[in-house]
Chains A and B, each alone.
Chain A
Amino acid sequence: MPKRSDIRSVLVIGSGPIVIGQAAEFDYSGTQACRVLKAEGLRVILVNSNPATIMTDPEMADATYVEPITPEFVERIIAKERPDALLPTLGGQTALNTAVALHESGVLAAHGVELIGADVDAIRKGEDRDRFKDVVTAVRAATGHGESARSVICHSMDDALAGVAELGGYPVVVRPSFTMGGAGSGFAHDEAELRRIAGQGLELSPTTEVLLEESILGWKEYELELMRDRNDNVVVVCSIENLDPMGVHTGDSITVAPAMTLTDREYQILRDIGIAVIREVGVDTGGCNIQFAVNPEDGRVVVIEMNPRVSRSSALASKATGFPIAKIAARLAIGYSLDEIPNDITERTPASFEPTLDYVVVKVPRFAFEKFPAADATLTTTMKSVGEAMAIGRNFTEALNKALRSVEKSGSQFDFGSGPGDPRELGDRHALLAKAAIPTDGRLNTVMRAIRAGATPDEVFEATRIDPWFVDQLFLIKETADALGAAERLSPELLTEAKRHGFSDAQIGAIRGLREDVVREVRHALGVRPVYKTVDTCAAEFAARTPYLYSSYDEETEVTPRERPAVIILGSGPNRIGQGIEFDYSCVHACFALSDAGYETVMVNCNPETVSTDYDTSDRLYFEPLTLEDVLEIVHAETQAGPVAGVIVQLGGQTPLGLAQALKDNGVPIAGTSPEAIDLAEERGAFGRVLAEAGLPAPKYGTAFSFDEAKTIAAGIGYPVMVRPSYVLGGRGMRIVYDEPALAEYLEHHAGLISEHPVLIDRFLDDAIEIDVDALFDGHELYLGGVMEHIEEAGIHSGDSACALPPITLGASDITRLRSSTEAIARGVGVRGLINIQFALAGDILYVLEANPRASRTVPFTSKATAVPLAKAAARVSLGATVAELRAEGLLPPTGDGGTLPLTAPISVKEAVMPWSRFRDAHGRGVDTVLGPEMRSTGEVMGIDTVFGTAYAKSQAGAYGALPTKGRAFVSVANRDKRAMIFPARALAEHGFTLLATEGTAEVLKRNGISATVVRKHSEGPGPDGEPTIVQLIHEGQVDLIINTPFGTGGRLDGYEIRTAAVARGVPCLTTVQALSAAVQGIDALGRGEVGVRSLQDHARDLTAARKG
């Protein structure tokens, strides 16, 4: 069936900010969809509030709305753009929920917009657990296989208590309906747990509904990715097996593709069920994901759930097979059938087939529990990981070891270095097995230690329920390590064998007591090097035209010679807090820009969620770990294939930056800013000299090696001071301390710090304005990309702080100072490419906080806010182009820069999105939500409008849901904030808000003529006549806006209870006075009803015109 001729314009909804459970994979899928739809000649209208995405690049759609993804805003876009159709299946649960809301409110019908890709009934059948149960029953009738876990639907706590009895007792699984990424799910082992988990689930569920289910913990877990077209052709794209059995969310499990431990009969049963489910649910066109549990004792199959849309798993499946699910889903949605769509990789066979793999894919999740020390790190059915790495090998052991090192976290790889098999060192195997029985981050390492301590395969299976085949593979790895340890010398056979099981040079070195580079030298001398194989969808049955490569220690390589010079771009690895999609954005832009400039682009990355690992992005894709060893081998292979112009390390964040010096030492040409310059900026002493030479002030600081030294330094600098360990980046472990006792407490808490690593103590600039600058330097000319003014004061990590561009309170003289300081630093450091500098303006002194000679997290935001592709320009500069040349070419504006934006330029506000609601402590309580110097946000949104207030209001709506314009506002601030709070509080009252306040704050308000109702603190408990506390009021939904700034030490617990209640109820909660002032401006704008929608293309057109004028 050919393309439908009645659809000429399509609205695509993205997934909004990166949050746990909904991450970069939707940028990948959305970008694919936009490209395909545009290529088909349709007008593509896109809405996504996330500026860090490739999909919101203006060239990906005809009209790009960086606006909040709420029914209200999307309705305005629909009214303005009048699309023929809405494609809701590529933007995760956010897009699906928004589409359903627009359908239900009649907006789609009123504007004649057809929902394509899935209809509302299919969405409901897939997501409503009760209706899905009926689907499974029908499927069983048709196929003879598959059933649902026994379950009951509950709408109240009484229902839940009765439900447990009906299911035959604890444990039971609690699953709230219609939440994203399984939010709020968990196992209840007793009534207390049931009350907690189900209570919270009822609140989280938009339909106040939870499902209780019999426990199928420990069963084997599988997923199938399916696609269906309008002709009812169905294909299974990929099977995925979870190494971690049932009980751990699939996003938090180590997963393997294809399924490893099913016979054909069993696999075909899953396939039959899957096909029957997609038909029964009625996904007319597009993809879906179905999850199964299989009882390892008898093969009984329980169908767990299905997602009638592309998902994280479908992104993984696309990368694992080379079959681009989202791209094909977009084509199917506009009328094509599978057999009309060519397979991209072979180019001459159709997409109506099922990929077959001649390799093994392993995905390992990456967690960020170190950022949330209070959070319970046990893995459950609620997803907690923030990213993932994927690796490909010719066998499981190779893929697993590659994936574990791709995760790039200390301790993620198997450690065979410690005393081989010495049980005293490893610990008791029974204790290790008991530990391994509880799924946590790094459980596999515990399993390996248990094996090394003498556990048998049966014992490992009994403790973990990990399938015996996988357990045997772990034994195989262990035996290989033993052989390495026992051998007299490293023979070529032994080395080859170890490499075929995925051992890194570093692991081999640790076993042999050799340095990594020595192992590498020996290996190269013996001629043991990897070859590169192609991911081709068809196990080599047909020739592959698309070079999507992975390494393996096998016989024959498939890297083909090339003529043009290549640029190798190193990506950023798994998403983590502080290093996410923003860096992928820059890498992808480098690919596009360098390809346009005539280079052959070679991308290296191991993150399956991203656009950079789409084989369409670069000329060659190496899906490989980003370690020195793996990168050196790729550089070697590409050097054999043709000329290599350079390796770009400055765009992928800390991961490639950390490799720069070692690569250079190994003779690899680094493009742009040299490793020495990178070092210079990171080394405090050297950087201090650069600043001194340029005459730029930095806050006073010192390095302490003992507590006494710390006290002296802090006293010399003057409190408050910022303290942090010297060896980490991203603000990890950073704290602001206001006095000596707090300093003592910090040092005691981090006792290991001072003995092993010195502590850095910086002056903390209270009440300073923090400013972020992104700039481009070619050695002669500076292009100031953008100046961002933080909303929150200095001291809150820039990644967690909201900011405005252009700066809202800085004048031309400030910009001039920033420009000259930036240029002096860029020149002094020796930047060729991007640099990001953080300044603090305190009093009238402009302090330099830090400089990073690389692409920053804010590059995509700056690029979108100023309509200039900074990362593209940076890639070109790093390969020798000048700012002047790029201006002439049109990549940069002919005159002016991001510091000289016209007054009519729109204001863009970036707001960070925090993962609070995802984490609970071991007792099930929420974790505190106070911002600090350590970055903890997972993503960001952008609000863009002509004035600051509206832009800020949009950023809040995009991040947390709309700001309220009326109702009750609760105010409780720290003493130091009371003065600053008066003005905005008065404005709230004038807007008609009823103010609630704790006693101290209420007193201040009343003295300033602002009436406020006193409410009881949590610590005071309910009053004698049952007067509720503020926490109770929040839980009852009686509060619409919360202003609560952290109180130093006193009142700490109260603040914690208030903020966690706010998170649980989804009430906007402002934790700084600056945010309050901004919110008041936003509420003001909302109140005037001035909030419209405007595409980036329209903004850019005006900006270009204004620049010329």
Chain B
Amino acid sequence: MTTTPAVLVLEDGRAFHGRAYGAVGETFGEAVFATGMTGYQETLTDPSYHRQVVVMTAPHIGNTGVNDEDPESRRIWVAGYVVRDPARTPSNWRSVRSLDDELAAQGVVGISGVDTRALTRHLRERGAMRAGVFSGPALGDHATLLERVRSAPVMTGADLAAEVATTEPYVVPAVGEKRFTVAAVDLGIKGMTPRRMAERGVEVHVLPATATVDEVYAAEPDGVFFSNGPGDPAAAHHPVDLMRGVLERSTPLFGICFGNQVLGRALGFGTFKLKYGHRGINQPVKDLATGRVEVTAHNHGFAVDAPVGEVSETPFGRVEVSHVCLNDNVVEGLRLLDRPAFSVQYHPEAAAGPHDAAYLFDRFTALMEGQRA
């Protein structure tokens, strides 16, 4: 375990001292906190965390090491990693190396030994903000470091999907008998999402974020999927246009997370930045149609601004808010009443998180089934 000093500097001037964790050096991003007690490997590799410095509220991180089955994408995306007590010795029958080594190997600058609860409370009260993590030779006087943090780009207005999405299309084959073809627009897709569809007999054609309507329809899909991803939905002009193209054709459509925000914008709703976002695997979401509550995985800093409890008229027909988060009443899902399209702000694919919302993939296949009949 390193004893190299490190510091985390927030754009409002508060600093937290600790020790270097993972790579030594410097990094910048938006400081956000994630409250899951399990699933650090999935979190680190979730492309939605691109350009974010992630603060883990669970104090012990790295206990189960790193394996090669659990990553959600090809690399770690977080810009920086803030923990309190990293494990010295990983313990798990699937572990192949330590998290510390993995972070260092991927050049991810982290800091440990931080009062993560104090930092979380600060972010909760002041909102997510820019931060820098500095260790070893990157350390300097506070004013200089603060200046560098303040000159880093902000999250609002950032168009990041293309930075994380695949550049080449690829196909995830159906498990067992193929029943449907889905074109999945990769805005930062997690590996578990196509897998959940594939388990239901869906052949998933994953396309780059820059895909055109023609490219989407090239595989003659039964349904179109818009994935999660990083950045400000207000800057996602291309995906919104693409989504409208799909809506016009009334192809069964499903969106998750960023995909939900893109659907909101395509329908004419606004999106806004939450003060400190939802990042955890314990969030209560209510399905307004059934009254049932599901415990769900969230990772979103933005939300759709749509009226809850009423039906809205849009260019694509009537729309209602299907799900809300019970903690703060934020819109967590949209459903079109006149076209086969719906989306959720949270993560039914889980990874990490509970499987309560996995039924939404069945809902998507049912839509495709219905469209065929």
- List 13 A-B pairs, Cβ < 8 Å: A263-B64, A263-B70, A296-B93, A339-B326, A395-B60, A396-B60, A469-B90, A539-B57, A540-B117, A540-B124, A541-B280, A542-B124, A555-B16
One of A296, A299, A469, A539 near B120 (C-beta < 8 A): A539
Q: Counting CB contacts under 8 A, is A985 at the interface?
A: no
Q: Counting CB contacts under 8 A, is A352 at the interface?
A: yes
In the complex, what distance in Å separates the CA atom of A338 from the CA atom of B282? 14
Give residues of chain A (230-288) contacting chain B, Cβ–Cβ below 8 Å.
Answer: 231-233, 235-236, 258-265, 267-268, 271-272
Q: Counting CB contacts under 8 A, is B293 at the interface?
A: yes
Give residues of chain B (257-304) contacting chain A, Cβ–Cβ below 8 Å.
Answer: 280-284, 286, 291-293, 295
Give residues of chain A (541-568) contacting chain B, Cβ–Cβ below 8 Å.
Answer: 541-543, 554-556
A554 CB contacts on chain B under 8 angstroms: 115, 117-118
In the complex, what distance in Å separates the CA atom of A272 from the CA atom of B295? 12
One of B92, B115, B124, B286 near A555 (C-beta < 8 A): B115
Q: Counting CB contacts under 8 A, is B58 at the interface?
A: yes
Given known contacts A338-B293, A539-B58, A264 and B282 CB-to-CB distance under 8 angstroms: no
Q: Counting CB contacts under 8 A, is B121 at the interface?
A: yes
Q: Counting CB contacts under 8 A, is A533 at the interface?
A: yes
Produce 1/0 per residue, B100-144, CB < 8 A to A: 000000000000000111101100100000000000000000000
Contact (Cβ within 8 A) A467 B120: no
Contact (Cβ within 8 A) B41 A263: yes
Q: Counting CB contacts under 8 A, is A203 at the interface?
A: no
B36 CB contacts on chain A under 8 angstroms: 264, 356
B84 CB contacts on chain A under 8 angstroms: 394-395
Contact (Cβ within 8 A) A354 B60: no
In the complex, what distance in Å separates the CA atom of A267 from the CA atom of B90? 16
Contact (Cβ within 8 A) B117 A268: no
A471 CB contacts on chain B under 8 angstroms: 89
Contact (Cβ within 8 A) B67 A263: yes
Given known contacts A271-B354, A356-B36, A356-B280, A467 and B91 CB-to-CB distance under 8 angstroms: yes
Chain B residues engaging chain A, CB cutoff 8 angstroms: 16, 33, 35-39, 41-42, 57-60, 63-64, 67, 69-70, 84-85, 87-94, 115-118, 120-121, 124, 280-284, 286, 291-293, 295, 326-328, 350-355
B87 CB contacts on chain A under 8 angstroms: 469, 472
The 8 closest A-B pairs by CB, nearest first: A264-B39, A556-B118, A539-B57, A555-B115, A264-B352, A472-B89, A469-B91, A264-B38
Contact (Cβ within 8 A) B116 A352: no
Listed residue (A263, A271, A394, A556) with the most chain B CB atoms within 10 angstroms of its CB: A263
Q: Counting CB contacts under 8 A, is A298 at the interface?
A: yes
Q: How far is the CB of A230 from chain B (nearest CB, A)?
A: 11
Contact (Cβ within 8 A) B59 A260: no
Q: How far is the CB of A1042 from chain B (nearest CB, A)?
A: 53
A467 CB contacts on chain B under 8 angstroms: 91
In the complex, what distance in Å separates the CA atom of A359 from the CA atom of B284? 22
Which residue in chain A gives the minimum CB-CB distance to B350? A268
Apart from A261-B64, A268-B352, 7 more pairs, CB < 8 Å:
A350-B327, A357-B37, A394-B85, A395-B60, A396-B85, A472-B89, A542-B124
Given known contacts A395-B84, A472-B88, A261 and B63 CB-to-CB distance under 8 angstroms: yes
One of B59, B93, B352, B353 near A359 (C-beta < 8 A): B59
Q: Counting CB contacts under 8 A, is A844 at the interface?
A: no
Q: Counting CB contacts under 8 A, is A360 at the interface?
A: yes
Which residue in chain A gives the minimum CB-CB distance to B62? A469
B60 CB contacts on chain A under 8 angstroms: 260, 360, 395-396
B42 CB contacts on chain A under 8 angstroms: 264
Overall SS of chain A's interface:
loop
Which residue in chain A gives the minimum CB-CB distance to B120? A540
In the complex, what distance in Å separates the CA atom of A203 from the CA atom of B315? 75
A272 CB contacts on chain B under 8 angstroms: 355
Contact (Cβ within 8 A) B280 A260: no
Contact (Cβ within 8 A) B37 A233: no
Contact (Cβ within 8 A) A264 B353: yes
Q: Counting CB contacts under 8 A, is A1037 at the interface?
A: no
Q: How far is the CB of B97 from chain A (nearest CB, A)?
A: 14
Listed residue (A268, A338, A355) with the most chain B CB atoms within 10 angstroms of its CB: A268
Which residue in chain B gives the minimum CB-CB distance to A258? B37
Q: Counting CB contacts under 8 A, is A297 at the interface?
A: yes
In the complex, what distance in Å separates the CA atom of A966 from the CA atom of B191? 74
B355 CB contacts on chain A under 8 angstroms: 268, 271-272
A interface, how many residues as a size bin?
35 or more
Contact (Cβ within 8 A) B124 A356: no
In the complex, what distance in Å separates the CA atom of A338 from the CA atom of B356? 15
Q: How far is the CB of A279 from chain B (nearest CB, A)?
A: 13
B354 CB contacts on chain A under 8 angstroms: 236, 268, 271, 354
In the complex, what distance in Å separates the CA atom of A394 from the CA atom of B59? 7
Which residue in chain A gives the minimum CB-CB distance to B114? A555
Listed residue (B33, B60, B280) with the most chain A CB atoms within 10 angstroms of its CB: B60
B283 CB contacts on chain A under 8 angstroms: 353
Give residues of chain A (376-404) contacting chain B, Cβ–Cβ below 8 Å.
Answer: 394-396
Q: How far is the CB of A900 from chain B (nearest CB, A)?
A: 57
A271 CB contacts on chain B under 8 angstroms: 354-355
Contact (Cβ within 8 A) A556 B93: no
A437 CB contacts on chain B under 8 angstroms: none
Q: How far is the CB of B327 from chain A (nearest CB, A)?
A: 5
In the complex, what distance in Å separates the CA atom of A766 from the CA atom of B33? 71
Q: Counting CB contacts under 8 A, is A476 at the interface?
A: yes
Which residue in chain B gives the minimum CB-CB distance to A470? B91
In the complex, what distance in Å separates the CA atom of A241 from the CA atom of B220? 50
Q: How far is the CB of A870 from chain B (nearest CB, A)?
A: 41
One of A232, A268, A358 near B59 (C-beta < 8 A): A358
Produce 1/0 per residue, A278-320, CB < 8 A to B: 0000000000000000001111000000000000000000000
In the complex, what distance in Å separates the CA atom of A259 from the CA atom of B64? 11
Which residue in chain B gives the minimum CB-CB distance to A349? B327
One of B67, B90, B117 near A556 (C-beta < 8 A): B117
Given known contacts A260-B60, A263-B41, A358-B117, A468 and B326 CB-to-CB distance under 8 angstroms: no
Contact (Cβ within 8 A) B327 A358: no
Which residue in chain A gives the minimum CB-CB distance to B352? A264
Q: Counting CB contacts under 8 A, is A538 at the interface?
A: yes
B59 CB contacts on chain A under 8 angstroms: 358-360, 394-395
Given known contacts A231-B292, A396-B60, A539-B57, A262 and B89 CB-to-CB distance under 8 angstroms: no
B118 CB contacts on chain A under 8 angstroms: 554-556
Which residue in chain A gives the minimum CB-CB distance to B295? A354
Contact (Cβ within 8 A) B292 A233: yes
Contact (Cβ within 8 A) A353 B38: no
In the complex, what distance in Å separates the CA atom of A533 from the CA atom of B115? 11
Q: How far is the CB of A610 from chain B (nearest CB, A)?
A: 26
A421 CB contacts on chain B under 8 angstroms: none
One of B88, B282, B327, B352 near A476 (C-beta < 8 A): B88
A262 CB contacts on chain B under 8 angstroms: 38, 64
Q: Counting CB contacts under 8 A, is A420 at the interface?
A: no
Contact (Cβ within 8 A) B293 A233: yes
A353 CB contacts on chain B under 8 angstroms: 282-284, 295, 326-327
Contact (Cβ within 8 A) A299 B326: no
In the complex, what distance in Å separates the CA atom of A1034 from the CA atom of B286? 61
Given known contacts A298-B93, A360-B59, A533-B117, A231 and B282 CB-to-CB distance under 8 angstroms: no
Contact (Cβ within 8 A) A356 B282: yes
In the complex, what distance in Å separates the CA atom of A296 from the CA atom of B352? 21
Q: Counting CB contacts under 8 A, is A457 at the interface?
A: yes
Contact (Cβ within 8 A) A352 B284: yes
A543 CB contacts on chain B under 8 angstroms: 124
A231 CB contacts on chain B under 8 angstroms: 291-293
Which residue in chain A gives the minimum CB-CB distance to B115? A555
In the complex, what distance in Å separates the CA atom of A297 from the CA atom of B326? 40
One of A297, A350, A356 near B93 (C-beta < 8 A): A297
In the complex, what distance in Å separates the CA atom of A995 from the CA atom of B350? 71
A350 CB contacts on chain B under 8 angstroms: 284, 326-327
Q: How far is the CB of B64 from chain A (nearest CB, A)?
A: 5
Give residues of chain A (803-829) contacting chain B, Cβ–Cβ below 8 Å.
Answer: none
Q: How far is the CB of B42 from chain A (nearest CB, A)?
A: 6
Contact (Cβ within 8 A) A263 B94: yes
